Amino acid sequence: MGGDLMKRFNVAQPSKPVMIAVILMVAILLGFLVDLIWTGFEKLAYPKKYSDYVELYAEKYDIPPHVLYAVIKTESGFDSAAVSHKGAVGLMQFMPDTFHWITDEMLFEHLEDGMRYDPETSVRYGAWLLSHLYTRYGDWSVALAAYNAGIGTVDGWLKDPAYADGEGGLKHIPYKETRNYIKKVTKAQATYDRLYGAPEAEVMDITT
């Protein structure tokens, strides 16, 4: 009966190629929509919070912004009130001794311990420290290892043939926590590059 109606009112049935084209277009639009929604969820998980501070101090201390975002994401999940079981606090998770080494001995600013919670202070000093470590080692993996395990510890590894690769890098890291830390930051940095733009720096993973 439906066919008779179409004939009676002279309604043309779409050709097979047209139907295929419509189906493909709908599929493409649905795929685009799903991808857009998924990207939105990913950006919620990898946000650019405190972007004013991150962009400012990344430029000031000449480090890639996505590296700084990745470290904050890994360290505190962008929670300025975060406190670790070891006593590290703030966005960049500063321990008291590291914080006062930077403020008192390196920058001569003598800030109070409570300033570790201040978002701008934490981002600024974290950016300074990452820049200092990268300048010292010339390798982001080693710099990240030092951010996590400490300069003295990493210097010791670099002097040990069991860990050093002989070219200023590390072929193995004995601390599981530090190995995992580098992997997390590297993954986060790559995710920021993918979600927000072209790669700004290469954070190489290392053989563990």
pLDDT computed for residue 9 by the predictor: 47
pLDDT computed for residue 5 by the predictor: 47
18: left (phi over 0), alpha (psi -120 to 50) or beta: alpha
Give dist(CA 194, CA 184) in Å, integer: 15
Is 120 a known active-site residue?
no
Give dist(CA 138, CA 142) in Å, integer: 8
Name all contacts of 178-181 with Cβ < 8 Å and 24+ positions apart: 178/145, 178/148, 178/149, 179/208, 181/74, 181/144, 181/145, 181/148
pLDDT computed for residue 15 by the predictor: 72
Give dist(CA 4, CA 49) in Å, integer: 63
Catalytic pick from 42, 59, 75, 177?
75
pLDDT computed for residue 3 by the predictor: 52
The strand pairing partners of 83, in sequence order, are 89
Q: What is the pLDDT of residues 90-116, one digit of tens each?
A: 999 999 999 999 999 999 999 999 999
Positions in the chain short of pLDDT 50: 5-6, 9, 207
